[in-house]
Structures are given as structure tokens and as C-alpha cells.
Amino acid sequence: MSDQKRTSNASAVADVEWDSIMRDLFDTAPESETKSKKSGVFTLETESEPTSSDVVPTKRVAVIRTSDRIAFKQCRRKWAWGSHLRAGLGPKQNAAPLWFGSGFHFVLEDYHGHRRFANPVDAMNAYAAATLKFNKESVPDDYKELLVMGETMLSYYVQWWQRRGRHIPPTYVLDGVPQVEVNFRVPIPLSKELLAKYGYDEAVYSGTIDAVRFDPETGLLWLLDYKTAKIFNTQHFRHDSQVTAYCWAASHMYGMEVAGMIYQQHLKKEISTPRVLKNGNLSSAKNQTTSHILYRQAILDIYGTVDKAPADIVSFLNGLARDETARVDKFIRLDFIYRNQQIQAAEGVKALLEAEDMLDPNLALYPNPGRDCTYMCSFNSVCTSLDDGSDWEHELKTDFAPRPKEYDGWRECLVWPGEEPEKDPEIVW
């Protein structure tokens, strides 16, 4: 490819030649003209709904996700490479945070849903086995260490929930089904003329709500979102578009007012019991990372009651109580993020306007480089190579592959309690 051609593609990424490049790299030619629409290098995602092919034509549905919206506003080139609406590529190796976070979500889905597993640790173990069986290459190399950390985090969560879970509204149950891991699709009201122009019959906004809670005192719904992170983050709440968009979508789905989202963060850290000195007493050193729940339980285990503990131990326990609230300690943080109906409606309008741009097959797909690219974009190296004339095609084929249409294909390999696994993958706690 000439330098002149390369420069043209870097600025607009709309040259027909890119179609053949992507097909050569990944064998991703469209299944049929009714199921996909080509736009330069990228394939716009459509999903067919089952119909009688002899009577009703295939319905062409454009599925827009929160990840699409976020990436689109960050960098069009990054979005176009990664979104299912276009190339739908992702790193061949699943990042450890994603793997661990998916498992943590599954565990809490079960724990606050049907509770088919005896305890959260068993559920995490089943998740690891399922992902290993489904696609071992997608499991991070340090998964055993992550499982050890996960066991301590989940064991602590059970203790925390037993003491403080009453501060969260109960899981909403609809027609006998606990509303956990709720996959939704809400129509985006684009005009039929515009959809037809871009080759679609319908556009929908799609996502997954971790849990829905119902406050019996107010009659309002609350959405619940789980996060695992190295540090607690609260700076983004005011402008978090996912929080607002999910509230908007849920209000349409359930026909009820949604007050906002409960943001539940878990510190991604191996949680240990409080330090014990050589003389058998608890340490009251202020540099140890512990919580009131853990420290009080350690007092009961060693001294029998709080009253029998030494004065410095009781003082340290009281200090922990002063530093914590019912919603925040060293390892778990809950924030109730309110969203009124006006701002929810405004977010729906934003989603509609963004959809008009995303579905445009002639949209210019230029990059938006910045200092965050090195650690926030998996396409950073490929993007740089494209601009400086290096062999970006080789990098793309070596390090990336088409993303699966479904993110939880591993569920097919889950072994539920009472079932016998065909063959246990190696799992070590």
C-alpha cells in the first residue's frame, strides 16, 4: 500500500480496499446481504429475528451498547475497530481484570438471585472451571492467584452482607423471577426513513443490569451495579452516562420510576484477618488494613467478648467504628446515585443522536490520540503503526481476533450443584 493511500485511509477510513483487507485478515465476510451492511473496513452489526422466511423478510436490527457509546465519544477509530457495529475486534488474551470481574458478577448474581450454589466461593470455582473448559486461552495466566484473592473477598462479603445488607433495598422479583443479570433491549426511536437509508429496520439500546432492587417505603426501583477495583472511585458519578442510560432504559422496561443506581464497589485485594502478636493478643497497630467487622470477630474468637479484651484493643475497635459507616468500610463501598426523570429523558435523547452518527456508513473514522491511549486503548500500537506507515495489518492479525457475539458463552459449560462434570479442569485454590 502506498504512503499516499495510507494517509487517505488514516484520515477517513472509508476506502473500499479496507473491506478486502479485513476479510483477508480475519475471514469475516458477511453471512448475507440481509444480515450485514459494509462500511469501509467495518461491518455494521445486525441481528436477525426468527421469522418465516417464506412470508416475512429478515428483520435488520442495529444493536447499540453502552461500550459503543463510550468508545465512540472517546475515539472513532478505537470504536470502529472494537465495536460489534463495525470490525468487532478484541485482544486474543482476555485481560485479568475482565475475567475476574465477570466471575465476581456471576457469583453475586447467584447469591442475590436463586442461590443455587451453597456459598459464593463454590460459585466462583464453578465459573473458573467453566471458562477453562470453554476457552482456556481466554483465561489469564495468574487465574489461580486471582481465585485465592476472590475467595477472601467473597468470604468477607458474606460477613458484610449478614451485618449490613439491610441497608440495601431487597432484590426486585417479577413474576417469581429475581431481577438479577437483566439483559435488556430498549427501542431507539429513529425514523423509519433514516433506518432504511442506513440499511436497518430497527435500532435498539442493549445492556445488562447487574440487579434491580425495590424500595417498599417509596415504591421506587433502584438499579445495582457491581465493580471490583484497586481503589474506590467516586469522581465520575455526576456525569456517568451508563448510570443515567440504564435508569432511562429500566424505567421503560418496568413501567416504574427508577430513583437511580446503587454503585457497589469491592476493593480488589486479598483480605486477611487482623494481625495477631506472638503473645496471642490482637495487634492494635494503626497501619494494618482491616475493618470493624473483621476486628470485632477476631476479638470474639480470642477473648470471647468485647468486654474481656484489653483497653487498647477496644479503643482500636471503636476507632474503626468511627471511621466507617453502614455503607463504607475499607473493603466495600456503597453509593446511592440519584437520577431524576428529566436527566434520564435527556440521556435517551443523547443515545438517539449518537445512534444517528454511529449507523451512518459514510461516517469519517478519525482517531483522537491523547496521553491516556497508552494504558486505556488496546489498539494503541496498531493505531500508531497505521499512522507512521508500519505493518499495522500484521499487528492487527497477530494480537486481535473477532469478538464473540455473546460475552458469556462460558455459561454453556457451567456445572451446577447436583450435576456431574464431564471432566474437571485443574482448579487450585
Which pLDDT belongs to residue 97?
A: 74
Least confident of 49-58, 300-309, 323-332, 339-348: 49-58
pLDDT tier, 376 (very low <50, low <70, confident <90, very high otherwise): confident
* Residue 381 located in a structural domain: yes
Q: For the chain, how many helices (H) and strands (E)? A: 15, 13
Over range 99-103, report the average pLDDT.
Answer: 94
* Residue 46 located in a structural domain: yes
Residue 429 has pLDDT above 60, yes or no: no
Helix ranges (DSSP H) in 185-283: 192-198, 241-254
Residue 242: name the closest of 266, 218, 226, 220 by CA: 226
Over range 402-419, report the average pLDDT.
Answer: 87
* Structure confidence by residue, pLDDT tens digits, 337-372: 999 999 999 999 999 999 999 999 999 999 999 998
pTM: 0.82
* Residue 117 located in a structural domain: no
Least confident of 19-28, 110-119, 240-249: 19-28
Over range 312-324, report the average pLDDT.
Answer: 96
* Residue 210 located in a structural domain: no
* Residue 205 located in a structural domain: no
End-to-end Cα, the chain, rounded Å: 51
pLDDT tier, 403 (very low <50, low <70, confident <90, very high otherwise): confident
Cell of 279: 503473645
Which pLDDT belongs to residue 226?
A: 97
Average pLDDT, the chain: 86
* Residue 54 located in a structural domain: yes
Over range 178-196, report the average pLDDT.
Answer: 95
* Residue 11 located in a structural domain: yes
Residue 63: which domain range?
3-92+350-403
* Residue 23 located in a structural domain: yes
Which pLDDT belongs to residue 10?
A: 35
Q: What is the domain count for the chain?
A: 1
